[in-house]
């Protein structure tokens, strides 16, 4: 590889991503490809920390892979692969688990949230999930990790684990930095703007899926919860409008001042319609590309097989060095 910095990020295979996934993370991944060495992955091993239907998981993983390509990730420019195809992630995870403290895992808000949501399945994988995420990142000694704000705590843990390992065994891992967008790092639910937009929301109107058709997108925005005023301005206490302005800004490139003057004297109805149309038009090429790419199963397979091969080769080098550092006997 060259001396460009290395980017790593991953996404869970929910099949179709939310507008939150897209604005907070995925849409930023494509443009980074020219400036950095990029490695992106569909994290199917993380997905099974909550119960999955196997057939659906398989389909969702393939769709997520195709969708990343439709969002502009080019497997010729980046290494794009499926996590379970690259065994080094699980192997490094074990070493990192032995360098992660029970106490720090207990503090993870996502663990607490998911335990509450699935009280009948608080499994060990759900608990140690952040160690696997650290392994994803550290296996490539990534410099930067482009994520939304909700992943910041996990990234902080990855940094701590890297530092702890370096102290115990001598400087080795790069301590990764989060790369969080200035606008759109936390897209909120359309029905409860105090809550993050999340695929697992029970109310489908709260979430825009990036493969939703134009009518659905507009309908969901029309129903978005706002406030009892009628002023399109970005201000504390106007969570719903702030969220819609953030979304509108990130798909049109207009700043908040421009948006405020565009909608001065107009009602929320006009604004919501404009946001819906702008989002739907922005996502149109993604939908079209996805329809095309997801048809071509042979091409997809070629891409993810090649991606996994490259990722394995790269991460195996890291893992072999880690094995030596911790004192394992060379296998050959
Ligand atoms: P995941 O699959 O939940 O989300 C993928 C990316 O989308 C971002 N995101 C959001 N950004 C803004 N607003 C929202 N409402 C919103 N919802 C989600 C997330 O911050 C994330 O960047 N653990 C990770 C996947 C992962 C990973 C990694 C990421 C596994 N290994 C290594 C980076 C590096 C996750 O579950 O993301």
Give residue-wise pLDDT tens across range 309-321.
999 999 999 999 9
Which three-class secondary structure state does DSSP give residue 34? coil
Same domain, 40 and 141: yes
CA 9 to ligand 1 center in whole angstroms: 8
What is the rounded CA–CA span in Å between residue 165 and residue 171? 8
What is the rounded CA–CA span in Å between residue 114 and residue 122? 8
Same domain, 94 and 243: no
CA 151 to ligand 1 center in whole angstroms: 6
Extended beta strands in 70-154, E state:
79-82, 144-146
In order of 99, 172, 288, the CA distances from 166 in angstroms are: 10, 6, 46
Tokens in use for 181?
Answer: 């967008």
Q: Pick the residue whose CA is nearest to atom 22 on ligand 1.
A: 147
What is the rounded CA–CA span in Å between residue 255 and residue 257? 6
Same domain, 62 and 166: yes
Q: What is the pLDDT of residues 104-161, one digit of tens each?
A: 999 999 999 999 999 999 999 999 999 999 999 999 999 999 999 999 999 999 999 9
DSSP assignments along 209-234, one per residue: BTT--HHHHHHHHHT----SS-----
Beta carbons of 144 and 36 less than 8 angstroms apart: yes
CA 147 to ligand 1 center in whole angstroms: 6
- pLDDT > 70: percent of the chain: 100
Same domain, 319 and 287: no
Q: Residue 243 contacts by C-beta under 8 Å, 6 or more apart in sequence?
A: 187, 188, 190, 193, 224
Q: Give the residue with greater pLDDT, 200 vs 146.
A: 146
**Number of Cβ atoms within 10 Å of the Cβ of 270:** 13
Beta carbons of 36 and 4 less than 8 angstroms apart: yes
Please count the structural domains in the chain.
Answer: 2
Q: Which of 152, 199, 222, 254 is catalytic?
A: 199
Q: What is the pLDDT of residues 16-36, one digit of tens each?
A: 999 999 999 999 999 999 999
Is residue 43 in a domain? yes
Is residue 58 in a domain? yes
Domain encompassing residue 253: 204-291
Give the residue among 162, 98, 152, 160 at the shortest CA–CA distance from 318.
162
Closest ligand 1 atom to 184 CA: 12
Is residue 189 in a domain? no
Tokens in use for 5?
Answer: 């910095």
Q: Pick the residue whose CA is nearest to atom 5 on ligand 1.
A: 11
What is the rounded CA–CA span in Å between residue 141 and residue 315? 9
Residue to substitute in 13, 24, 46 for testing ligand 1 pocket (most ligand atoms within 8 angstroms of CB): 24
332: confidence class by pLDDT, cuts 50, 70, 90: confident
Is residue 305 in a domain? yes
Same domain, 169 and 132: yes
In order of 31, 65, 188, 265, the CA distances from 108 in angstroms are: 31, 28, 20, 44
- Which helix (H) or strand (E) element contains residue 6? strand 6-11
Catalytic site includes residue 199: yes
Q: What is the pLDDT of residues 271-320, one digit of tens each?
A: 999 999 999 999 999 999 999 999 999 999 999 999 999 999 999 999 99
pLDDT value for 251: 96
Is residue 274 in a domain? yes
Residue to substitute in 57, 146, 148 for testing ligand 1 pocket (most ligand atoms within 8 angstroms of CB): 148
Beta carbons of 143 and 179 less than 8 angstroms apart: no
pLDDT value for 3: 86
CA 11 to ligand 1 center in whole angstroms: 6
Instruction: Reply yes or no on whether the pLDDT at 187 is more than 80.
Output: yes
- Which helix (H) or strand (E) element contains residue 101? none
47: confidence class by pLDDT, cuts 50, 70, 90: very high
Tokens in use for 270?
Answer: 């006009």
Q: What is the pLDDT of residues 59-103, one digit of tens each?
A: 999 999 999 999 999 999 999 999 999 999 999 999 999 999 999
Same domain, 76 and 177: yes
- pLDDT > 90: percent of the chain: 96
Instruction: Reply yes or no on whether the pLDDT at 1 is more than 70.
Output: no
pTM of the entire structure?
0.97
Same domain, 76 and 116: yes
Residues 188-197: what's their mean pLDDT? Answer: 97
Same domain, 120 and 151: yes
In order of 4, 67, 175, 216, 277, the CA distances from 312 in angstroms are: 20, 22, 21, 40, 42
Q: Give the residue with greater pLDDT, 137 vs 15.
A: 137
Tokens in use for 261?
Answer: 């003057």
CA 8 to ligand 1 center in whole angstroms: 12
Same domain, 65 and 174: yes
- Which helix (H) or strand (E) element contains residue 313? helix 297-326
Is residue 157 in a domain? yes
191: confidence class by pLDDT, cuts 50, 70, 90: very high
Same domain, 87 and 107: yes
Ligand 1, CB within 6 Å, residue ranges? 8-12, 20-21, 24-25, 43, 46, 133, 136-137, 145, 147-148, 150-151, 154, 185-187, 196-197
Instruction: Reply yes or no on whether the pLDDT at 15 is more than 90.
Output: no
Is residue 48 in a domain? yes
Q: What is the pLDDT of residues 213-235, one digit of tens each?
A: 999 999 999 999 999 999 999 99
Whose tokens are 């937009």? That residue is: 197
Same domain, 64 and 211: no
Same domain, 31 and 171: yes
What is the rounded CA–CA span in Å between residue 143 and residue 7? 6
Quote the crossing angle between the two packed helices 268-295 and 239-252, to the nearest 10°.
50
Is residue 192 in a domain? no
Q: Which CATH number does the domain housing residue 12 bear?
A: 3.40.50.620
Catalytic site includes residue 114: yes
Burial of 325 (0-12, 13-18, 19+ CB in 10 A): middle
DSSP assignments along 35-104, one per residue: TSEEEEEE-HHHHTTS---HHHHHHHHHHHHHHHHHTT--TTTSEEEEGGG-THHHHHHHHHHTTS-HHH
What is the rounded CA–CA span in Å between residue 254 and residue 219? 23
Q: Which CATH number does the domain housing residue 250 bear?
A: 1.10.240.10
Q: Which of 114, 220, 238, 272 is catalytic?
A: 114
Instruction: Reply yes or no on whether the pLDDT at 185 is more than 80.
Output: yes
Catalytic site includes residue 301: no
């Amino acid at each position: 590889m060259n001396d460009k910095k290395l980017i790593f990020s991953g996404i869970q295979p929910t099949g179709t991503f939310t507008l939150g996934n897209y604005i907070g993370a995925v849409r930023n991944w494509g443009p980074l490809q020219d400036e950095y060495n990029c490695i992106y992955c569909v994290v199917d091993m993380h997905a099974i920390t909550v119960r999955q239907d196997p057939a659906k998981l398989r389909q969702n993983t393939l769709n997520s892979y195709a969708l990343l390509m439709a969002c502009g990730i080019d497997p010729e420019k980046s290494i794009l692969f499926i996590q379970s195809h690259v065994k080094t992630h699980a192997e490094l995870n074990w070493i990192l688990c032995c360098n992660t403290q029970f106490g720090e895992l207990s503090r993870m808000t996502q663990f607490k949230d998911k335990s509450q949501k699935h009280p009948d399945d608080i499994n060990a994988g759900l608990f140690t999930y952040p160690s696997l995420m650290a392994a994803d990142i550290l296996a490539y000694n990534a410099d930067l990790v482009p994520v939304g704000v909700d992943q910041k705590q996990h990234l902080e843990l990855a940094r701590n684990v890297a530092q702890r390992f370096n102290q115990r065994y001598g400087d080795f891992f790069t301590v990764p930095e989060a790369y969080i967008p200035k606008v759109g790092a936390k897209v909120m639910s359309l029905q409860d703007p105090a809550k993050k937009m999340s695929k697992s929301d029970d109310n489908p109107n709260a979430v825009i899926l990036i493969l939703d058709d134009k009518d659905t997108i507009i309908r969901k925005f029309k129903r978005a919860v706002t406030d009892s005023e009628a002023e399109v301005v970005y201000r504390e206490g106007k969570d719903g409008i702030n969220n819609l302005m953030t979304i509108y800004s990130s798909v049109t490139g207009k700043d908040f001042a421009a948006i405020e003057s565009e909608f001065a004297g107009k009602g929320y109805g006009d604004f919501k319609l404009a946001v819906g149309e702008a989002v739907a038009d922005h996502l149109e090429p993604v939908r079209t590309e996805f329809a095309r790419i997801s048809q071509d199963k042979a091409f997809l397979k070629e891409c993810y097989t090649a991606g996994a091969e490259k990722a394995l080769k790269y991460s195996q080098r890291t893992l072999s060095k880690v094995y030596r550092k911790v004192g394992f006997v060379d296998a050959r």
